[in-house]
């Protein structure tokens, strides 16, 4: 049974990218995955959309976007209201960390792949 759901923000079709590796690892960990990226497509059986899906419940949003690109998704993230946002290495954003935290969303500067590998996800 799938207990959690994660949205990968900054998903890539390129299997060498960490966002793509995270999708694969999440699936193998029995976690429902949604993906939003620049390019529409499919990887590991997950459709990558270019905008946030509507009407879904998300436990975690795992960010793989640089700070400049994150700004356009602030409203969509708040609308979904995840329990947690993970800022992966290179995506750390103190301003958004503070903002989402003030809205009641748990934020972490961490690595989704490491959390999954160490069973801390």
Q: How is residue 28 written in tokens?
A: 């193998």
pLDDT for 49 equals 97
The arithmetic mean of pLDDT across residues 96-119, rounded, is 97
8 — phi, psi (to 5°)?
-90, 115
Question: Sorting pLDDT into bands at 50, 70 and 90, what band is 3?
Answer: low
Give Dmax (Cα) for the chain: 37
3 near 56, Cβ under 8 Å? Answer: no
Cα–Cα distance measured from residue 41 to residue 102, given in angstroms and rounded to the nearest whole number: 34
Other beta carbons within 10 Å of 66: 11
Lowest-confidence segment of 46-50, 55-59, 81-85, 96-100 by average pLDDT? 55-59
pLDDT in tens, 30-78: 999 999 999 999 999 999 999 999 888 999 999 999 999 999 999 999 9
Residue in the block written with tokens 């059986």 = 45
Cα–Cα distance measured from residue 109 to residue 93, given in angstroms and rounded to the nearest whole number: 9
Question: Sorting pLDDT into bands at 50, 70 and 90, what band is 1?
Answer: very low
Sheet bearing 84-87, strands edge to edge: 41-43, 46-49, 32-36, 5-9, 60-63, 84-87, 106-109
The arithmetic mean of pLDDT across residues 113-117, rounded, is 96
Q: Going from the N-terminus, what domains does the chain have, and what CATH number goes with each?
A: 5-117 (3.40.50.720)
């Amino acid at each position: 049974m799938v207990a959690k759901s994660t949205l990968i923000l900054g998903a890539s079709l390129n299997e060498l990218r960490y966002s793509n590796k995270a999708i694969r690892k999440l699936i193998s960990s029995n976690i429902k995955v949604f993906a939003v990226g620049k390019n529409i497509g499919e990887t590991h059986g997950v459709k990558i959309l270019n905008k946030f899906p509507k009407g879904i419940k998300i436990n975690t949003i795992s960010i793989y976007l640089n700070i400049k690109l994150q700004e356009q998704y602030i409203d969509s993230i708040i609308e979904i209201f995840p329990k947690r946002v993970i800022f992966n290495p290179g995506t750390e954003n103190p301003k958004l960390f503070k903002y989402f935290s003030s809205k009641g969303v748990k934020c972490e500067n961490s690595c989704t792949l490491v959390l999954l590998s160490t069973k801390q996800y």
